[in-house]
Amino acid sequence: MKKKNNKRLARKRRVRMRIRGKNNSPRLAVFKSNRFIYAQIIDDTAGTTIFSENSKGVKAKNKSEAAYEIGKKIAEKAIGKNIKKVVFDRANYPYHGRAKALAEGAREGGLEF
């Protein structure tokens, strides 16, 4: 278990080293729990969360579809606040499954990253 956790933390450090959100392109951060997925747009220069979205009220067949819908919703909110370009922060999650579905939904919603 300790080895698995160390690998996860190393992945998280490696991803976060390269990713910083700016005023013109904030960070789209993803968090996955066993039941839900959360996404938030963060301005790292100010250190504030602009807005967030989660899958708690989403009706979907499976978790990947819920993540896709959350990606579309977060993109809709971002476009409403004139944010068109973001930096995708997948944290320690590999780019497949729910993280990939969220990213594809956000891209289809109009975000660029």
Indicate the helix (H) or strand (E) that contains 106.
Answer: helix 98-109
Per-residue pLDDT tens digits of the chain, which is 113 residues long = 678 888 888 888 887 777 776 667 899 999 999 999 999 999 888 889 999 999 999 999 999 999 999 999 999 999 999 999 999 988 888 899 999 999 999 999 999 98
Domain regions of the chain by residue span: 2-109
The pLDDT, as a whole number, for residue 91 is 85
Q: Look at the block and give the residue holding tokens 């990253």.
A: 113
Instruction: Give the right CATH number for 2-109 from 3.30.420.100, 3.40.50.300, 3.40.50.80, 2.60.120.1130.
Output: 3.30.420.100
Indicate the helix (H) or strand (E) that contains 72.
Answer: helix 63-80
The pLDDT, as a whole number, for residue 21 is 67
Q: Could you please report the per-residue DSSP string of 10-40?
A: HHHHHHHHH----SSS-EEEEEE-SS-EEEE
